[in-house]
């Protein structure tokens, strides 16, 4: 375990430099020939390329937020042979990630392909700052540090409502189905609490690996974030904004170094990747993991990175500006807890006892705060945080529950 901690800290600190490995170490753009070493040809494909490679039709749409961020949103239109009326389905990615998550495991295994096969019109938004959210009507992410002045609140109150409104306008529907992972779930809860009119725009929400309180989170990066949050909050308050964990940066290329040579490196590769994103067993197969490392992480801001350290330290509370800033903003030394009393939309939470981020004990603290929620704890006690989006048992444990609830109004929690 001590080596796991050393690796975690080393990865986190170096990744926060925000530099591509080729600049840091002089590595070539692609140090390994995939055909020679046998890694996945899907590793370096973007969302549209993955769709095409996997035999699906997809579209790219641009969504502009109220503060000028231009975000790419992808769509898998319902197949032409489908009949019947269904609400559009939105899949919202989690922290450090992108919309690629819902395609990575491949046809018959990935969330968005499975929902599309079930005749759903699938929409996949992206948050500001990730590889698909690096555009703005005025700001340049490579020159303007103010581009990176955002965190969870901006994702929740600006990115997500822009995406929801766009989908409903384009489809002519009044409601959509929402499937979110980790931070994606948090975003919709906060949006419906802050802007209650959005409760009426959601038919039902499915929360996978729900995050709010992080008191019992066990993966090391969250602990590191908590330790750094005092320093990082002061840095951000001084106006220092920057990108961290960029796509194509050190994490991507170091992981590809470990995972791209041969499947024999799978155990080492697994430890490296999960040092950054949470340890679990081998639900993520040796065929899928080489694809994961080509897409993870997707990029975020240092302010948002720090925001999750604040949530671990303070509980499920509003942004912590420091003592003086809190007095000015909230009239108190400490930030107040989020008030979720206005969240009335129906939720289904799916949790696992082996989730190192969305711990069941922390999710249980959320339940009494919400008016309409049902939680299912998976019977498989080895299922981990990333298994909800990359695991081989998604089509066995997760998507059948989502589709059964949508089609029958109920599901079996196993």
As a three-state string, the secondary structure of 169-212 is HHHCCCCEEEEEECHHHHHHHHHHHHCHHHHHHEEEEEEECCCC
Q: In the predicted model, what is the mean pLDDT of residues 137-159?
A: 98
CA distance 72 to 94: 16
* Percent residues over pLDDT 70 in the chain: 82
Least confident of 277-281, 295-299, 328-332: 277-281
Distances (CA, A) of 338 to 111, 153, 156, 192, 216: 30, 11, 13, 12, 19
What pLDDT, on a 0 to 100 scale, did the predictor assign at position 212?
97
* Percent residues over pLDDT 90 in the chain: 74
What pLDDT, on a 0 to 100 scale, did the predictor assign at position 414?
94
| Sign of the alpha-carbon torsion through 278, 283, 286, 291 | negative
What pLDDT, on a 0 to 100 scale, did the predictor assign at position 283?
86
67-100 pLDDT, tens digit per residue, is 999 999 999 999 999 999 999 999 999 999 999 9
What pLDDT, on a 0 to 100 scale, did the predictor assign at position 289?
85
* pLDDT bucket at 247, cuts 50 / 70 / 90: confident
Q: Which pTM does this prediction carry?
A: 0.88
Active site residues: 182, 355, 385
**Domains by residue range for the chain, with CATH:** 2-408 (3.40.50.1820)
CA distance 257 to 273: 11
Q: In the predicted model, what is the mean pLDDT of residues 268-296?
A: 71
Pairing of strands 202-208, 176-181: parallel
Residue 313 has pLDDT above 60, yes or no: yes
Least confident of 12-21, 57-66, 85-94: 12-21
Q: In the predicted model, what is the mean pLDDT of residues 133-139?
A: 98
* pLDDT bucket at 220, cuts 50 / 70 / 90: confident
What pLDDT, on a 0 to 100 scale, did the predictor assign at position 190?
98
What pLDDT, on a 0 to 100 scale, did the predictor assign at position 264?
59
Pairing of strands 122-124, 69-76: antiparallel
Residue 268 has pLDDT above 90, yes or no: no
Mean pLDDT rounded to a whole number for the chain: 88
CA distance 82 to 65: 32
Q: In the predicted model, what is the mean pLDDT of residues 107-125?
A: 98
The answer for residues whose C-beta is within 8 angstroms of residue 405's C-beta and 6 or more apart is: 204, 206, 348, 411
Residue 280 has pLDDT above 60, yes or no: no
Can you tell me which residue has the tokens 């904004």?
241
Which pair of tokens denotes residue 330?
């909230």
Are the C-beta atoms of 222 and 214 separated by less than 8 Å?
yes
Distances (CA, A) of 217 to 276, 302, 361: 14, 20, 9
Residue 16 has pLDDT above 80, yes or no: no
What pLDDT, on a 0 to 100 scale, did the predictor assign at position 271?
62
């Amino acid at each position: 375990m001590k080596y796991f901690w050393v690796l975690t800290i080393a990865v986190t600190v170096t990744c926060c430099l925000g530099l591509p490995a080729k600049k840091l170490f002089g590595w070539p753009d692609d140090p390994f020939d995939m055909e020679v070493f046998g890694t996945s040809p899907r590793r370096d494909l973007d969302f549209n390329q993955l769709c095409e490679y996997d035999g699906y039709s997809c579209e790219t749409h641009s969504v502009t937020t109220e503060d000028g961020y231009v975000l790419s949103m992808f769509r898998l239109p319902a197949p032409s042979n489908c009949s019947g009326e269904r609400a559009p389905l939105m899949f919202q990615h989690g922290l450090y990630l992108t919309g690629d998550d819902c395609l990575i495991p491949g046809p018959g295994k990935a969330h968005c392909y499975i929902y599309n096969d079930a005749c759903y019109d699938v929409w996949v938004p992206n948050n500001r700052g990730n590889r698909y959210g690096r555009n703005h009507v005025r700001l340049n992410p490579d020159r303007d540090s103010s581009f990176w002045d955002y965190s969870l609140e901006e994702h929740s109150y600006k990115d997500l409502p822009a995406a929801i409104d766009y989908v409903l306008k384009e489809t002519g529907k009044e409601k959509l189905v929402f499937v979110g992972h980790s931070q994606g779930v948090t975003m919709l809860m906060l949006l419906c609490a802050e802007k209650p009119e959005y409760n009426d725009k959601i038919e039902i929400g499915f929360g996978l690996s729900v995050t709010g309180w992080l008191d019992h989170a066990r993966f090391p990066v969250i602990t590191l974030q908590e330790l750094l949050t005092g320093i990082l909050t002061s840095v951000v308050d001084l106006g220092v904004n920057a990108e961290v964990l960029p796509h194509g940066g050190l994490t991507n290329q170091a992981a590809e170094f470990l995972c791209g040579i041969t499947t024999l490196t799978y155990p080492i590769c697994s430890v490296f990747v999960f040092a950054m994103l949470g340890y679990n067993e081998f639900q993520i197969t040796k065929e899928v993991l080489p694809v994961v490392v080509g897409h993870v992480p997707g990029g975020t801001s240092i302010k948002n990175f720090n925001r999750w350290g604040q949530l671990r330290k303070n509980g499920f509370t509003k942004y912590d500006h420091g003592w003086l800033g809190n007095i000015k903003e909230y009239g108190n030394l400490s930030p107040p807890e989020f008030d979720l009393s206005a969240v009335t939309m129906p939720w289904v939470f799916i949790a696992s006892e082996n989730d190192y981020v969305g711990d069941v004990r922390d999710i249980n603290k959320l339940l009494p705060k919400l008016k309409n929620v049902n939680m299912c704890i998976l019977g498989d006690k080895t299922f981990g945080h990333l298994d909800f989006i990359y695991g081989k048992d998604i089509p066995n444990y997760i998507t059948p529950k989502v589709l059964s609830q949508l089609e029958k109004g109920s599901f079996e929690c196993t």
